[in-house]
Amino acid sequence: MAGKLHYPGADRSIRKRGALSQQQCGKCPNEYPGHKNSYPSTGADLKGLLKAAYYDPNPVVILEHKGLYWSKVQGTEAARTTEPDEQYLVPFGKGRIALPADESLVARGETIAVVTYGMGVYWAANAAQQRFAGRVEVIDLRTLYPLDEELIFSVAKKHGKVLVITEEPVNNTFAQSIAARISEHCFQWLDAPVRTLGAANMPAVPLNTTLEQEMIPSIEKAGVAIEKLLNW
């Protein structure tokens, strides 16, 4: 590829858009060497990553979840954020703690970490706040490549239990790749298998709303997965 490409693109429509408009393709740019790939979950991070892309000499892909536009989906109000300052910039390869756990519960071994991005941040955070106050630490990757392995491995060692959430069908996904890396590098600190939650393994998103809801993850499904891992 000659020159430099910055591609901000919309990903994953919401409700009744069918197979072509609702596929989740966050990991796709990871398969092409030389690209940087990010998937912000807030407006401030989106602008910060766009500014970082402007200064970066490499091709950059930034994907935005359509459900987070104007916080259309219930429970995503936190996506409407103001930038901390005019020069706010988010470096590639740096995640953030979207929801911290209670340190006293961490010390007693009663917490888990959720590693996710995009809409998954809100599924996990809402489930945690509604049912498991202080027992869940939610990590927002922000950048899928390069990946903030330092943050991922540190929370895995801190909590000993990790759930990875994606909106893609689980089989052969980026989420399973992250789970494998955690298992490989943090095995001796883990108290349970690394679990993954994603869409049902179907070839396309159904047009029917009821079937779509059965396929796609949600706050309720995240809550069930979190509860199972906490009780391991």
- What is the secondary structure of the chain as a DSSP string? --S--EEEEEE---SS-HHHHS---TTGGGGSTT-EEE--SSHHHHHHHHHHHHH-SS-EEEEEEGGGGGG-STT-GGG----SSTT----TT--EEEEPPPHHHHHTT--EEEEE-TTHHHHHHHHHHHH-TTSEEEEE--EEES--HHHHHHHHHHHS-EEEEEEEESTT-HHHHHHHHHHHHHGGG-SSPPEEEEE-S-SS--SSHHHHHHHS--HHHHHHHHHHHHT-
The model's pTM is 0.88
Looking at the chain, the domain(s) classified CATH 3.40.50.920 span 96-230
pLDDT for 3-62, tens place per residue?
455 555 555 545 555 554 445 555 555 566 678 999 999 999 999 999 999 999 988 999
pLDDT for 78-133, tens place per residue?
888 888 888 899 999 999 999 999 999 999 999 999 999 999 999 999 999 999 99
CATH of domain 96-230: 3.40.50.920
Reply yes or no on domain 6-79 having CATH 3.40.50.300.
no
| Per-residue pLDDT, 9 | 53
| Per-residue pLDDT, 81 | 86
| Per-residue pLDDT, 46 | 92
